[in-house]
Amino acid sequence: MARSAIINVMVQAAMKAGRSLARDFGEVQNLQVSLKGPGDYVSQADRKAEDIIFAELSKARPGYGFLMEERGAVEGEDSQHRWIVDPLDGTTNFLHGIPVFSISIALERQGQIVAAVVYNPAMDELYTSERGGGTFLNDRRLRVSGRTKLVDAVIGCGVPHLGRGHHGNFLLELRNVMGEVAGVRRLGSAALDLAYVAAGRMDGFWETALSPWDVAAGILLVREAGGFVSDGKGGQDMLEGGSIVAGNELIHKALLKTLKKPVTPR
Ligand code: IPD
Ligand code: CA
Ligand code: CA
């Protein structure tokens, strides 16, 4: 499969950071970690990976701006382009030795996400997507699942934890969803959740209280695999609003409806 120049640049940055993360993952016990907030650990590996991605992308496309989890916003001379990067999505998994984490890189052009790479170095799974060009896992073209009913669907979600998210709201949403679906999963990397929806492994996904770098790349992966993505209200404020609902057309619609249902005692 021939990749475009911009996807090559992004893949190279993700793979280089991925090699660094994979080495550190092997030595996860020895990593020094600092406590950023309750339950939210940031490791040296995370910062190293971000530095690698920042250096690679700055070298390849000088002038583009950045929005990165550790650095925050970095203005570029080119106001049309911005990289949105999570160097390690799934930090809690990483620190616990669970091989479900990823690097997420999106390119925004004039406010629109036009290219995306999500890479899980532990499984060597590389998801790439370019606007209008489809989504690929390694070299295989992806398509969202064909299931049409929630009753057959496996749905991914995020579970709020100590110091994060609205626990009461989540319990209401979960109660609605769990009564209507075949299974609920919590992977622990929002970027991979969306990649799994793109790959048809999960039929849908919802989460709230996310940051732009968690979802920017994944949104394009799902759309270019034929799926639908919105915020929790059905609008398009996923990056700033922090909520997201994804799936194929029918599951996305059904999930939105189910999440909003008033809870009836059962
Ligand atoms: C987290 C993961 C997780 C989601 C959290 C995010 P991090 O990102 O995407 O799946 O539930 O809300 O913060 O902290 O591992 O980069
Ligand atoms: Ca993240
Ligand atoms: Ca992160």
pLDDT at 29: 56
Sign of CA dihedral 143, 144, 146, 152: positive
Q: How confident is the model at residue 255 (pLDDT cuts 50, 70, 90)?
A: very high
Residue 88 CA to chain centroid, in angstroms? 10
pLDDT single digits (tens) 179-226: 999 999 999 999 999 999 999 999 999 999 999 999 999 999 999 999
Is the CB of 243 inside a 6 Å radius of any atom of ligand 1? no
Q: Taking the model in full, what pTM does it have?
A: 0.94
Is the CB of 50 inside a 6 Å radius of any atom of ligand 1? no
Say how many C-beta atoms besides its own lie within 10 A of residue 15's C-beta: 18
pLDDT at 163: 86
Domain ranges of the chain: 5-141, 150-259
Q: How far is CA 207 from CA 120, 163, 170, 193, 217, in A?
A: 20, 16, 9, 10, 15
Is the CB of 90 inside a 6 Å radius of any atom of ligand 1? yes
Centre of ligand 1 from the C-alpha of residue 154, in Å: 20
Helix, coil or strand: residue 64: strand
pLDDT single digits (tens) 111-167: 999 999 999 999 999 999 999 999 999 999 999 999 999 999 999 999 999 888 889
Sign of CA dihedral 257, 189, 41, 84: negative
- Show the tokens assigned to 172: 């209401």
pLDDT at 165: 85
Best residue among 196, 214, 244 to mutate for probing ligand 1's pocket (most ligand atoms within 8 Å of CB) is 214
CATH, domain range 150-259? 3.40.190.80
Q: How far is CA 73 from CA 83, 181, 196, 209, in A?
A: 10, 39, 28, 19
Average pLDDT over residues 69-92: 96
Q: Which residues contact 62 (CB under 8 A, 6 or more apart)?
A: none
Ligand nearest to the CA of 45: 3
Is the CB of 158 inside a 6 Å radius of any atom of ligand 1? yes
Rounded distance, CA 94 to CA 24, Å? 9
Beta bridge partners of 107: 83, 115
* pLDDT of residue 50 exceeding 60: yes
pLDDT single digits (tens) 9-46: 999 999 999 999 998 888 775 654 544 432 333 468 89
Q: β-strand 154-157 against 183-185: which pairing, if any?
A: parallel
pLDDT at 37: 34
Q: Please tell me which residue, 40 or 250, carries the higher pLDDT value.
A: 250
Q: How confident is the model at residue 93 (pLDDT cuts 50, 70, 90)?
A: very high
Position in ligand 1 atom list of the atom nearest CA 189: 10
pLDDT at 41: 39
5-141 fold: Fructose-1,6-Bisphosphatase; Chain A, domain 1 (3.30.540)
Is the CB of 189 inside a 6 Å radius of any atom of ligand 1? yes
Going by alpha carbons, the residue nearest to atom 13 of ligand 1 is: 210
Is the CB of 227 inside a 6 Å radius of any atom of ligand 1? no
Q: What does the CA dihedral 190, 194, 196, 199 come to, rounded to 10 degrees?
A: -160
Rounded distance, CA 37 to CA 44, Å? 16
